[in-house]
Amino acid sequence: MTTDACKLTIAQAQHLLRSRELSATELTRACLDRISAVEPRLNAFITICHEQALAQARDAERRLAQGDAPALCGIPLAIKDIYATRGVRTTCASKILENFVPPYDATVIARLRAEGAVFLGKANLDEFAMGSSTENSAFGPTRNPCDLQRVAGGSSGGSAAAVAADECLGALGTDTGGSIREPAAFCGVVGIKPTYSRVSRFGIIAYASSLDQVGPFAKTVRDAAILLRSLAGADPADSTCSTRPVPDYERALNGEVKGLRIGVPKEYFVEGMQPEVEGAVRAALRHYESMGATTVEVSLPHTDYAIAAYYLIATAEASANLERYDGIRYGLRVEADNLTDLYRRSRGRGFGAEVKRRIMLGTFALSTGYYDAYYLKAQKVRTLIKRDFDQAFARCDLIVTPTAPTTAFRLGEKMSDPLQMYLSDIFTISVNLAGLPGMALPCGYDRQGMPIGLQLIGPAFGEETVLRAGDAYERSGAVTRRPTVV
């Protein structure tokens, strides 16, 4: 039992911990043993916190023994290495922050800590969350636990792979243009990006502030609902965070989709899409119909412009956010005779190629004379994309699409062609531009056995509908999760 404990869902573990059939230490040890066994092949973690995790588990055990057990007490999690963790190195997968140890916790980390969650370590990602494959990490790529020659997706590839490989029971990621949903789809797990502003971002290293959002990875939709409830809610330290009350998401999971109107955007079944992906998504839609939902074709006519708008807005905001890494306040400093050279050398040595590309693109888009033509125009397109969704949601309760046009690609396959890499986000980025909640969950496998992800998109603050529909699908047994190869 205990060696397999890492395979438990959070809901199962909660039950066993509370009934004292399993101790928090046994559970944490099972995860740490699993991590030791598979990490040499996966590289899902940048930092592993053996000692701290066991200490947290002992504390959790005491609380459980006293009957003081909040939802995540004793639950071992992986944390994307973009969250500030007090006393634990936080690199953002960049050389520039290689030795940065934050003196404080991100708000969500503090909340989980207060609940008694156990932090197993910091998960790998694309440097500064820029990428779709985790190949842009300064600490080497994460491999897909379903096929070690393939990418885990990105930018939260380490978090997704860690959950898929049962190194942890759940994980935290961030999603600016698809970074939770695409790796969840590639690794065959559940990942939800909540509505923009649903979760505090205080203490999360900023990439593109008008798009970034925090969210969980899990083995089941129910677990994602449990995690999200602990993460969401107002934060005085983040003025962009909503004060709307947080529903009990788990309670919304009643298995019912009867009468649910599902919108299917015609623009999301594009040429060049892997036929098995389209097949699996269409089969899932039929499955929903058999459970009593209805489907209706909707149109999101500005979809074609989403990638261009996103890569202008995200890079513009990134170029401003990344100005702070100047060799003075944080991280790497390469000494020089004068200040300009110090900046130049520190940033030149500290940032990887993709980050430099984004900073250059963003600086160009914001520069005098180009601002109106690029950044301002992109903002206008963003408004049109948001309006498309508003119009679609007048006719449906939920939108269902593929998460990515293909299953996980091979390591190295898209590294020399940034545009091809950017196109992996074609179905996810509009959701960020519109600020909506989106969830990926497994809906099948391709002929090579690689997982295919379904994407459920809700209206703003429609997380309950998204989770309820995802859970109903999962519970109906439409897809069974297959074991990984590690």
Q: What is the DSSP letter of 264?
A: E
Distances in Å between the Cα of 358 and the Cα atoms of 371, 380, 452 are: 16, 21, 29
User: Binding of ligand GLN at residue 107 (CB under 6 A)?
Assistant: no
- Is the CB of residue 214 less than 8 Å from the CB of residue 201? yes
Residue 114 token pair: 């207060």
Which residue among 14, 144, 179, 484 contacts ligand GLN (CB under 6 A)? 179
**Selected catalytic residue, list 94, 133, 137, 155:** 155
Which residue among 6, 120, 130, 316 contacts ligand GLN (CB under 6 A)? 130
- For ligand GLN, which is the closer residue by CB, 136 or 465? 136
| Among the residue ranges 68-76, 88-96, 175-183, 456-464, the one whose residues contact ligand GLN (CB under 6 A) | 175-183
Contacting residues for 242 by C-beta, under 8 A, at least 6 apart: 195, 197, 198, 234, 461
Distances in Å between the Cα of 101 and the Cα atoms of 51, 54, 81, 205 are: 17, 20, 11, 13
**Selected catalytic residue, list 80, 122, 193, 219:** 80
* Range 330-349, binding ligand GLN (CB under 6 A): none
* Range 181-210, binding ligand GLN (CB under 6 A): 207
User: Is 367 known to be catalytic?
Assistant: no
User: Is 94 known to be catalytic?
Assistant: no
User: Binding of ligand GLN at residue 404 (CB under 6 A)?
Assistant: no
Q: What is the DSSP letter of 237?
A: T
| Among the residue ranges 141-149, 177-185, 215-223, 411-419, the one whose residues contact ligand GLN (CB under 6 A) | 177-185
E runs forming strands in 266-415: 294-298, 398-402
Which residue among 61, 105, 175, 235 contacts ligand GLN (CB under 6 A)? 175
- For ligand GLN, which is the closer residue by CB, 421 or 450? 421
- Is the CB of residue 118 less than 8 Å from the CB of residue 77? yes
User: Binding of ligand GLN at residue 132 (CB under 6 A)?
Assistant: yes
Per-position x/- string for 293-322, each x denoting binding to ligand GLN as judged by CB under 6 A, each - no binding: ---------------------x--------
User: Binding of ligand GLN at residue 177 (CB under 6 A)?
Assistant: yes
User: Binding of ligand GLN at residue 425 (CB under 6 A)?
Assistant: yes
| Among the residue ranges 39-47, 170-178, 259-267, 293-301, the one whose residues contact ligand GLN (CB under 6 A) | 170-178
User: Binding of ligand GLN at residue 147 (CB under 6 A)?
Assistant: no
User: Is 476 known to be catalytic?
Assistant: no
User: Binding of ligand GLN at residue 178 (CB under 6 A)?
Assistant: yes
**Selected catalytic residue, list 132, 133, 137, 179:** 179
Residue 158 token pair: 């380490």
Taking the C-alpha atoms of residue 374 and residue 418, their distance in angstroms, rounded to an integer, is: 19
CA 25 to chain centre: 27
Contacting residues for 18 by C-beta, under 8 A, at least 6 apart: 64, 69
Beta bridge partners of 98: none
Residue 395 phi/psi, 5-degree rounding, is -115, -5
State how beta strands 170-175 and 213-218 pair: antiparallel
* Range 207-246, binding ligand GLN (CB under 6 A): 207
User: What count of other Cβ atoms lies within 10 Å of the Cβ of residue 390?
Assistant: 11
Q: Give catalytic residue positions.
A: 80, 155, 179
Q: What residues line the site for ligand GLN (CB under 6 A)?
A: 129-132, 155, 175-179, 207, 314, 425
